[in-house]
Amino acid sequence: MWKGLTYLTLLVGYISGLGEFVARCSENQQRVLDPIVFPGQYGRGHMHSFFGANGVTENSTLHDIMYSTTSCNTLHDHSAYWVPTLYKNGQSIIAEDVTFYYHTFRNFNQVKPMPVGLIMVTKWGQNHKFSCQGSGPSGTNIVDCGNSKLEVFINFPECWDGLNLDSPDHLSHMAYSVGNNCPSTHPVILPRLQFKIRYPTNGGAGTVLSSGTGQTAHADFINAWVPEAMELRVNLCSKLDNKCDEILPGDQNINSEFVKPVFNFPLLSQTYVRNGVYQNTNFESNNPLVVKHSYTPGFSRESLLKFGVDQLSPNYKCVLTVHNILVKPYTRTYQILVGSSYDDWDQELITWNNKPVFFSSVGPIVIVNSTESIDVTQLVYQSSSDLITFHLYGSHLNYYTDKLEFSGISSLICRP
């Protein structure tokens, strides 16, 4: 056994036959939305009470949840937890005390950390119990606690198929153990998640859920624990049969936020187009690319760079870098504007006459170096497509004989 177990036990406690770690979180919103069952559909379904990840909406993606702030005391837990809202005589009730338990009861050395992005829901009216703080009646329907406070416990399945983070019914990729064993179809043992929620009411008459009677109780979950923090808890609590509290030795060495990735988006096509007698000419991918502003038809050129892009979380900065720049006749700087469009185009067919129309632009930008990096954050965030085209065109402030050429491979990089 690990020689530090005695020290750890003093900090986290020890109960034989129960590996456990917890997250204690406060309720942060009540809204009619469900990003698992009804994604993108605000007002569909019933009112839910949310805990953990702040600011969850009907459009929230896993990335949104991962990079959210959290209402949990354990800052490493950005997971989203929600249940139907409790009502007493028509008034919604805010939960008073919320604890999420992660239990392991057997096969301690086989338990695995939950993967980031795992989605779980419980079936309505199953695997839950209403009870009273301390002692009193309990059952699957809401009970009357008299002078005590109402609590609800909801248990999630702990057996995973090992492949899918979700399934069409949001249930089939997970299973409950049978006879203390996971079925062969779901062989991976995860910590069993249990919601324990206490309300500042005694329940009884006039107390219902937004989904109906207490027998409609259910819960939803999207895992967004920082992986190192989840792994630490599985190793020190679940695998070693320890009952742990919220904060563990080693937490201080783990970043409480997910490290955001850097995106280096692929350049898909590049070309330039020319007006005047060349307005129907296709220049394919000719190098060098040219930018020129001229009042004389046939002399203006505009370069186009097409990138594949993904949806970004907020607060990234995106930079377009252009290499191997020459400004002719070499004695001047050159000013360009950068526009953006989101329509597709074919490098072998595009001309001045059929180029996509750009909708927004930044600049003018003064080009003075052989490599220039241009902040295009505003243009990238305006894109609702998986493509973006940057139009590089000359400012009217340039002398009409001047032009800009560049021959290197351009890049689009977005950093947090």
pLDDT per residue over 210-261, tens digit each? Answer: 999 999 999 999 999 999 999 999 999 999 989 998 989 889 999 888 877 7
- Name the helix (H) or strand (E) containing 92: strand 91-93
Mean pLDDT (whole number) for 293-309: 83
31: nearest Cα among 8, 48, 13: 48
Which class in CATH covers the domain with range 263-415? mainly beta
pLDDT exceeds 70 at position 7: no
pLDDT digits (tens, 9 = 90+) for 10-37: 334 444 468 899 999 999 999 999 999 9
Supply the DSSP string of 112-150, one letter for each residue: -PPPTT-EEE--TTSSEEEEESSSS--BSS--B-TTS-E
Strand ranges across the sheet with 263-265: 263-265, 411-415, 317-322, 372-375
- Mean residue pLDDT of the chain comes to 87
At 398 the pLDDT is 61
At 8 the pLDDT is 38
Instruction: Estimate the share of the chain in helix, then strand, then coil, as percent rounded to the nearest 5.
Output: 10, 35, 55
Q: Is the dihedral of CA 383, 118, 247, 239 positive or negative?
A: negative
At 400 the pLDDT is 64
Distance CA 102, CA 223 (A): 12
At 16 the pLDDT is 47
Tokens of 375: 């902040």
pLDDT digits (tens, 9 = 90+) for 355-402: 888 878 888 778 877 788 889 998 888 877 788 888 888 877 666 667
pLDDT digits (tens, 9 = 90+) for 141-184: 999 999 999 999 999 999 999 999 999 999 999 999 988 889 99
318: nearest Cα among 411, 405, 387: 411
Q: Which residues of 53-79 are buried (b: 16+ CB within 10 A; e: fewer)?
A: bbebebebebbbbbbbebbbebbbbbb
Distance CA 155, CA 146 (A): 25
Distance CA 313, CA 58 (A): 16
Tokens of 95: 């939960």
At 387 the pLDDT is 86
pLDDT digits (tens, 9 = 90+) for 57-113: 999 999 889 989 999 999 999 999 999 999 999 999 999 999 999 999 888 889 999
Inter-residue contact 158 to 177 (CB < 8 Å): yes
List, in order, residues 6 or more apart from 299 with CB less than 8 Å away. 274, 275, 276, 292, 400
pLDDT digits (tens, 9 = 90+) for 41-61: 998 999 999 999 999 999 999
For residues 32 and 339, which has the higher predicted lDDT (pLDDT)?
32
At 207 the pLDDT is 97
Question: Binning pLDDT at 50, 70 and 90, where does residue 5 land?
Answer: very low
Distance CA 228, CA 2 (A): 19
At 158 the pLDDT is 96
253 SS3 class: helix
What's the start-to-end Cα distance of the chain, in Å?
42
Supply the DSSP string of 272-309, one letter for each residue: EEE-GGGTT---TT-SSEEEB--SSTT--EEEEEEEE-
pLDDT exceeds 70 at position 39: yes
| Domain definitions of the chain by residue range | 5-253, 263-415
List, in order, residues 6 or more apart from 233 with CB less than 8 Å away. 21, 102, 113, 191, 244, 248
pLDDT exceeds 60 at position 187: yes
Amino acid at 154: I
Supply the DSSP string of 192-248, one letter for each residue: EEEEEEE-SS-B-TTEEETTBSGGG---EEE--B-HHHHHHHIIIIITTT-B--S--
At 9 the pLDDT is 36
Distance CA 4, CA 8 (A): 6
At 322 the pLDDT is 86
Tokens of 372: 């220039």
